[in-house]
Amino acid sequence: MHPILGSIRRLAIYLLAWLLIGLLLSVGLGVRNGNWLTAVAFFVPLGVVFALISQSAWYVCRIFPLVRSRAWSVVAAQILAAVFASAIWVAAAGAWARALEVVGLESAGVALYQNQRALLFVIGALLFWLVAIFFYLLIAFDASKDAERANVELSLLAREAELKALRAQIDPHFIFNSLHSISSLTATDPAAARRMCLLLADFLRETLRLGGSQQIPLSEELALADRFLAIEQVRLGQRLVVSRETGPGAATCLVPPLLLQPLVENAINHGVAQLVEGGTIRMAAARTGSTLTITLENPCDPDRQRTRGVGLGLQLLRKRLINQYGASDAVYAQEQEGQFRVEVRIPAVPALAEASAGKTEAPA
Amino acid sequence: MGSPALPMRVIVVDDEELARALLRELLAGHPDVEIVAECGNGFEAVKAVTEKKPDLLLLDVQMPKLDGFDVLELVGTDVPVIFTTAYDQYAIKAFQVHAVDYLLKPFGAERLAEALARARARVGARETLPAKALVSDARKARAPIERILIRDKADVHVIPVAKIDYIESQDDYVSLKVGDRQLLKEQTLSELEQQLDPGRFVRIHRRYLLNVSRLARIEQSVTDSRVAVLQDGSELPISRSGYAKLREIL
């Protein structure tokens, strides 16, 4: 698409610019030789004509782009094109001068033209190059804009992929196992089966909803963890004990969604569920000054057979927090004497406006 | 249809009470099936299988400490097994150990009935399969083991490999030296060597597999032979090829 001929508005602006150039030429070249009117009548239409001729520079610029062509081929092409364009222009000027004479406007037109043919040719070539430079600039500008757009698109894609990955983090086996528990309860305790159905539905819906938001209050993340643990409680029975502590000011702090979820899942799958006697999962959130600290502790079997893929959740979390806060030491994990402990430290940002705005859309 | 005169004696193994309750409920629909034991973990399962000698095991895969495959390796007999799990990634392994069937949770009465029919056919055919060898075979493809399971009659010991000083071959058995304990396991040294991390356990001699982290120094004894001196002062012979392997690692 031609950048100027392709749009009427741009063409109008462009022609107006050339009208001005024509007037300048009239002043520069015409005033010395004849009267004002002749000069204007001669140069202004010629300016418009050259405006159109010089548009051919666009194609030359496209065929010989600065970045990918050799310097000499660009120079040669532009000189040739300028000579060509200017020659046509000078010829047009001659024809115009004679036409003016036929109309009988002024015989000085021809004189004007005769006197300054060489000068006109040089001016034509220079103007052609001016246009060529303008097009090269335009191409470079477009290229940088394209690159920027591609960049933005790329980061959008990356973010979308991250969200998808987050959603995919819902462990399907968790769902299958829960359904198996429900299936069992339908015969022995239908009311409990129904409760579990609702818990599971709530958990899934909340996970999908929170996964789509940028930041959520810690209280929502904790509520999600509670639902998850309530479901696992049905499955694991007395083997699972949960304790939770939330310090003052911590619950309203904003956190990335599903921050805790992989940690809680790990605490179950690689911790309590791997112990014959089970154990207690301790969650604590505390705000000290500008730092929000969330800790999760669970017992684990120190002699367990370590499977591949363990630690993936932690790795992903580290990466997310680096992206979000630029802090590479936000996640600290440690296993000691059968006790696994994860500590997450992020800046404490209390939800103010967001909290009240979020309330309206959050279902009760 | 030659339905067996004796009921099929089944042991149900699952660490989740609700999963066991479901099997109890579904199996109640099969009058020819008798549940002789219910186990909540692998240790109980090994004990129950040893004592009750069931016709069929309904075995969960993911359980604490000892998973379903560990149980199978430990009981090491030809008990037909139906695995029950929410994870489909063990299906190939279950096939390798000749499981009768592989039930994916959640499953219902029909799918269980199908599996039981297969089990009856297997019991009827008196098919004997060296399950232990098969399990070991299946294990070879896996990453190096981190722990060794030893059955002592109905009891099970789980030994983390890091706690082993060295392993000595004794005919068809291996003797594990763990601190001041000696534990016997029915397995050949070569088989065990293949399962362990070759960077941590080196066959220094035809009869010895050494945990290299226990090695204090190597002493030259008479002429050609060398001796490994361990941190606790005990000494093991090193063969020529064993010395070459050791040098490669150290």
Residue A67: the pLDDT is 76
Edge-to-edge strand order for the sheet containing B208-211? B181-186, B173-178, B166-170, B208-211, B201-205
Q: What is the 3-state secondary structure (H, E, C) of A239-291?
A: HEEEEEEECCCCCCEEECCCCCHHHHHHHHHHHHHHCCCCEEEEEEEEEECCE
Query: Do A196 and A109 belong together in one domain?
Result: no
Task: For residue B99, give the nearest of B112, B84, B89 by alpha carbon.
Answer: B84
Q: How far is CA B26 from CA A321, A337, B126, in A?
A: 48, 41, 25
> Is residue B3, in this structure, part of any structural domain at all?
no
Residue A150: the pLDDT is 83
Please identify every stretch of chain B with a pLDDT value under 70, giving residue numbers as ranges: 1-5, 77, 126-143
Query: Last residue of a domain, which of B121, B136, B151?
Result: B136
Residue A357: the pLDDT is 44
Residue A111: the pLDDT is 65
Residue where the block lists tokens 């939800």: A351
> From the list B21, B43, B105, which residue is nearest A176 (CB)?
B105
Task: For residue A82, give the nearest of A72, A94, A92, A90 by alpha carbon.
Answer: A90
Query: Last residue of a domain, which of B136, B152, B186?
Result: B136
Domain ranges, residue A176: 169-361
Is residue B59 within 8 Å of B10, Cβ to Cβ? no
Residue B201: the pLDDT is 93
Nearest chain B residue to A186 by CA: give it. B22
Angle between the B17-27 and A172-188 helix axes, to the nearest 10 degrees?
Answer: 50
Number of domains in chain A: 2
Mean pLDDT in order along chain A per 10 residues (364 residues) = 77 85 77 68 81 84 81 87 88 82 64 73 88 87 87 76 64 91 95 95 89 86 94 93 93 90 90 92 94 95 68 79 82 91 93 51 42
Query: Last residue of a domain, which of A145, A162, A179?
Result: A162
CB B158 to CB A303 under 8 A? yes
> Is residue B97, in this structure, part of any structural domain at all?
yes
Distance from CA of B13 to the nearest CA of A (A): 13
Distance from CA of B205 to the nearest CA of A (A): 28
CA angle in degrees (0–180, nearest 5) for A272-A278-A281: 55
**CATH number, residue A211:** 3.30.565.10
Query: Do B130 and B22 belong together in one domain?
Result: yes
Query: Do B131 and B153 belong together in one domain?
Result: no
Residue where the block lists tokens 């799918």: B111
For residue B114, give the amino acid letter. E
Query: Do A132 and A177 belong together in one domain?
Result: no
Q: And the tokens for A223? A: 């509520």
Q: Which of residues 157-216 of A touch B (CB under 8 A)?
A: 173, 176-177, 179-185, 187-188
> Is residue A1, in this structure, part of any structural domain at all?
no
Beta B8-13 vs B56-60: how paired, if at all? Answer: parallel
Residue A358: the pLDDT is 43
Query: Do B153 and B187 belong together in one domain?
Result: yes
Q: How far is CA A182 from CA A234, B5, B71, B249, in A?
A: 9, 35, 27, 53
With a CB cutoff of 8 Å and minimum separation 6, the contacts of B248 are: none
Query: Last residue of a domain, which of A115, A133, A162?
Result: A162
Is residue A119 within 8 Å of A125, Cβ to Cβ? no
Contacts 24+ apart (CB under 8 A), A37-41: A37/A106, A38/A100, A38/A105, A38/A106, A38/A108, A38/A109, A38/A112, A39/A112, A41/A100, A41/A105, A41/A106, A41/A109
Task: For residue B230, give the nearest of B179, B181, B156 by alpha carbon.
Answer: B179
**CATH number, residue B75:** 3.40.50.2300
Per-residue pLDDT reduced to its tens digit, B20-34 = 999 999 999 999 999
Per-residue pLDDT reduced to its tens digit, B95-146 = 888 899 999 999 999 999 999 999 998 877 765 555 555 555 555 556 688 8
Residue A354: the pLDDT is 46
Number of domains in chain B: 2
